[in-house]
Amino acid sequence: MAKATAAIAALAALQRKRRQQAPLPQTVEDVVRELMRPMLENWLDRTVPKLVENVLRPELRRAFEE
């Protein structure tokens, strides 16, 4: 019985240590946020430069023509 109690205590200590190192998401919203972050970063990396260029180029052209 003492060995089983010691094993359970060791597992509980390991679980506490793992939670401290990398806390688990608490809600579905947290899980979705974690999953969406890399996808959103990828989309922004692909889209924003083109968007900025398409918006900024005409504005700069107008500013230098004046």
How many separate domains does the chain show? 1
What was the pLDDT predicted at 26? 77
Confidence label for 24 from pLDDT (cuts 50, 70 and 90): low
Q: What is the pTM assigned to this prediction?
A: 0.47
Residue 42 has pLDDT above 90, yes or no: yes
Residue 24: which of 37, 12, 34 has the closest Cα?
Answer: 34
Residue 15: which of 27, 7, 28, 30 has the closest Cα?
Answer: 7
User: 37 versus 9: which is more confidently predicted?
Assistant: 37
Task: List own/partner pairs for 13-21 with CB under 8 A and 24 or more apart.
Answer: none
Amino acid in position 9: A
Confidence label for 22 from pLDDT (cuts 50, 70 and 90): low
Which residue segment(s) compose the domain that 17 sits in? 2-65
Task: Report, as an integer, the average pLDDT of 6-35.
Answer: 79
Instruction: Tell me the C-alpha to C-alpha distance, in Å, between residue 10 and each of 1, 2, 18, 22, 48.
Output: 14, 12, 12, 18, 50
